[in-house]
Structure 1
Amino acid sequence: MATDVREACGSGQQINKCPADWDPRSPEIQRDQIGAYDRMRETCPVAYSAYLGWSLFRHEDVLRVLGEHETFSNVVSRHPSVPNGMDPPEHTPHRRMIEPYFAPEYIAAFEPAFRRIARELVEHLRANPSCDVIRDFAEPYAVRIQCGFLGWPQSLHVPLLEWIYRNRAATLARDTEAMATVALEFDGHIRAQLAMREGGGAAGVDDFTTCLLRQTVDGKRLNHAEIVSILRNWTVGELGTIAACVGIILHFLAGRPDIQDRLHRDRGALPQAIDEILRLHGPLISNRRVATRAVTIGGRTLEAGDRITVMWASANRDGSVFADSEEFHLRRDQSQNLLYGAGIHICPGAELARMQLNIVFDELLEGLEPFSLLPGAEPVRAVYPASGFSSLFLTPA
């Protein structure tokens, strides 16, 4: 963290973009992202860096950005992003188009398949207790349930897992050329699924992917670029986020045998516990916005076109909103939890994700003996833009 943070920000003095307030990629920040963001929230809640633009760490500032879409635009990429990267009025019909796919009655039909996948992986974990639970449990679970939801074949499980590893390596190396290549590779998987369906290879299949090929917005059929964008959002984002969630919750429960025992005895408390654990350690670190006009926020002046990063992982630990914000409280009011966002861009798949997580931890608590962290195997923390852990080993308690 920059040594001038308190001088630049703590005094309330308005500072322009130079010098940077902090370096989000510094080793100090990456060693413990959550703790570093807590410090930034207290010392420099609106901070500038060349890498992220303006980062917002306080709950009230993040909530303001989420609510004022006329001032803080979601159109942050030159590539299509449907509907995440759209503003009203374009956003409205596209959002309305995807919402039926996440209706309770639609996602409920996937519960048996998700539970079967979770049970199989728990059996694998029981047979291989010394395995890395991120690589051998969390990531396979994310890939298999997402393929099941989208209607993609089992033959994609291994290629998608290998894609996750290559994408992570390229991101960690900050290799923009490799990242672009990996992104194109993923789009290739999606286009192959579309081509198979259009060629009759999925005749009679009525899955998410096939339905998108027939989908219209305002009477106009979606084009391939729009469909690829939707499917990319619901695979790339979900694969990383669901796997991160599983790792974060496992790590927490391994260190809290009291909570583990409570949830083993009372599965009905799982949904509340999961939301609270993920409030403490957000699986999604941040999202981007761009200012459409000059605006003052947190005492800093942003100009039209300035990049903004809303720091979910910090906002959800803001002590002005959450009493004892660094402590786990099972019965905490979660109405201000921004785990799934807020406003018009709130995650449409929130209930799907909650179901997926509730199922896998229900099966874990049913199928595993009490567990703890493996002594001598230090968990490896993920680094920005990822969250959670890239490696985690458990052992029977």
Structure 2
Amino acid sequence: MPDKPRPDWDPRSDTVLSNQIKAYDAMRRRCPVAYSDYLGWSLFRHEDVVQALDDHQTFFSSVVSSHLSVPSGIDPPRHTAYRRLIERHFEPERVEAFEPSCRMISSDLVSSLQRGVEVDLVTQLARRFAARIQCAFLGWPDSLHQPLLQWVQNNHEATLARDTCAMAAVAHEFDGYISQLLEARREAGAAAPQDITSDLLRERVGDRPLNHEEIVSILRNWTVGELGTITACVGILGHYLAENPQLQQRLREGPRLLPAAIDEILRMHAPLVANRRVTTRPVEIGGRKIAAGERVTLVWASANRDEAVFGDPDEFRLDRDPAQNLLYGRGIHVCPGAQLARLELRVLMEELLKRTRNIALAPGRQPTIAIYPASGFSSLPMLIR
């Protein structure tokens, strides 16, 4: 077995965790294909990340975990059947039908924020919105809001520590929540709620029904992706608008600009830091030779800020080519819930801007930046008027 490369950086150093976006910008310029003991090989440039995504059949496998992960942790041809099944649950008609519920939740949460006193936009809006919107879309009870938020926090801590025992315990805890929901629907039979969770019990892959493990994996993937990234998105959007009052007012007066503005803000500050792959054969990328079976980390938070594609990565522009934005991934693993996420964020931002006169950072208070694997902010003191 060849010797491991000498580490080029430490993803868990205080310097990196204190400001991930700044650190990844520096790595993209200094060492765009970098090795670390923690993440394996990390790709920071847009060009290299796109190569990894587009060459999935040749070089990069998505099977990175010993646990079943449907569909993101499965390669073709198995991936194709699962992906087709999952996409049916995010068809435009179903997403559009969810808008009234999404607006009611958004309006309720924005209205509940106190005016003229300091509020934490992360804990009092972003996390609550993510939990409520996820449970509403999947047909889950309100009693799961707080347990799910605590579960996401535990999952992040175990992932950062790379504590395999803790990660297994976290997965087992989530599986318990889902198993209870599924068992209740099985017992109810025809009287079960007509929602996505019940639909999955009737789904088939190939010539057989989905089994219990597959259903739990699908719901776990949706929940991890939704709760963490939607929370991060809301914090990032709120922070950017507070720091840019002219844009805030422009969007308040012209909400039709919100979809493009949201995608651009989240390009600059990614809500999802990275995804993993494994090489299936030796490959040379960015001038570095990577052996077969090596872990590879695709750093979205850097690729979407690559000067070679976007020029000044911090320049806010509404006329960028959306095909270059990797916010929701690319290729066979592009996020199937992208349209749903865009609707949820648009509606929440519409309600936030419509029901306020101004949102600003709280004087004398600093936001707390979230640390890997989370992104955005873990606290965001603000004044709402």
Alignment coverage as a number of residue pairs: 383
Given that 1:126 and 1:368 are in contact with CA atoms closer than 8 Å, whether structure 2 keeps it comes out as no
Flag as ranges the 4+ runs of structure 1 deviating above 4 A: 168-176
Helix, strand or coil at the partner of 1:234: helix
Partner in structure 2 of residue 112 of structure 1: 100
Measure how far apart 1:219 and its partner are. 1.6
Helix, strand or coil at the partner of 1:250: helix
Deviates more, 1:24-33 or 1:181-190: 181-190
Residue type of the partner of 2:66?
R
Given that 2:361 and 2:382 are in contact with CA atoms closer than 8 Å, whether structure 1 keeps it comes out as yes
**The one of 292, 297, 322 aligned to 2:285:** 297
Partner in structure 1 of residue 7 of structure 2: 20
1:37 matched to 2:37: no
Superposed counterparts of 1:156-167, under 5 Å: 156-167=144-155
Partner in structure 1 of residue 335 of structure 2: 347
Residue type of the partner of 2:240?
F
Superposed counterparts of 1:188-199, under 5 Å: 188-199=176-187
Deviation sequence 1:185-218 (CA, Å, 0-9, x none): 1111111111110111782422110000010011
Measure how far apart 1:17 and its partner are. 3.9
1:60 matched to 2:47: yes
TM (norm. structure 2) is 0.96
- Structure 2 segments unaligned to the other structure (5+ residues): none
Change (3 A) 1:381 1:396: same
Measure how far apart 1:376 and its partner are. 1.9
Change (3 A) 1:77 1:173: closer
- CA distance in structure 2 between the partners assigned to 1:61 and 1:37 by the alignment: 14
Measure how far apart 1:315 and its partner are. 0.3
**The one of 54, 63, 70 aligned to 1:82:** 70
Residue type of the partner of 2:199?
C
Measure how far apart 1:396 and its partner are. 4.1
TM (norm. structure 1) is 0.93
Helix, strand or coil at the partner of 2:322: coil
Given that 1:17 and 1:48 are in contact with CA atoms closer than 8 Å, whether structure 2 keeps it comes out as no
Measure how far apart 1:129 and its partner are. 4.2
Measure how far apart 1:371 and its partner are. 1.5
Partner in structure 1 of residue 34 of structure 2: 47
Measure how far apart 1:184 and its partner are. 1.4
Deviation sequence 1:21-60 (CA, Å, 0-9, x none): 0000000011110011011111100000000000000001
Given that 1:139 and 1:161 are in contact with CA atoms closer than 8 Å, whether structure 2 keeps it comes out as yes
Helix, strand or coil at the partner of 2:34: strand
- CA distance in structure 1 between the partners assigned to 2:10 and 2:285 by the alignment: 20
- CA distance in structure 2 between the partners assigned to 1:396 and 1:113 by the alignment: 24
- CA distance in structure 2 between the partners assigned to 1:189 and 1:122 by the alignment: 28
1:368 matched to 2:334: no
Q: CA RMSD in A?
A: 1.7
Residue type of the partner of 1:279?
R
Given that 2:160 and 2:373 are in contact with CA atoms closer than 8 Å, whether structure 1 keeps it comes out as no
Partner in structure 1 of residue 325 of structure 2: 337
- CA distance in structure 1 between the partners assigned to 2:76 and 2:162 by the alignment: 33
User: Matched residues, percent identical?
Assistant: 58
**The one of 210, 220, 224 aligned to 2:208:** 220
Residue type of the partner of 1:329?
R
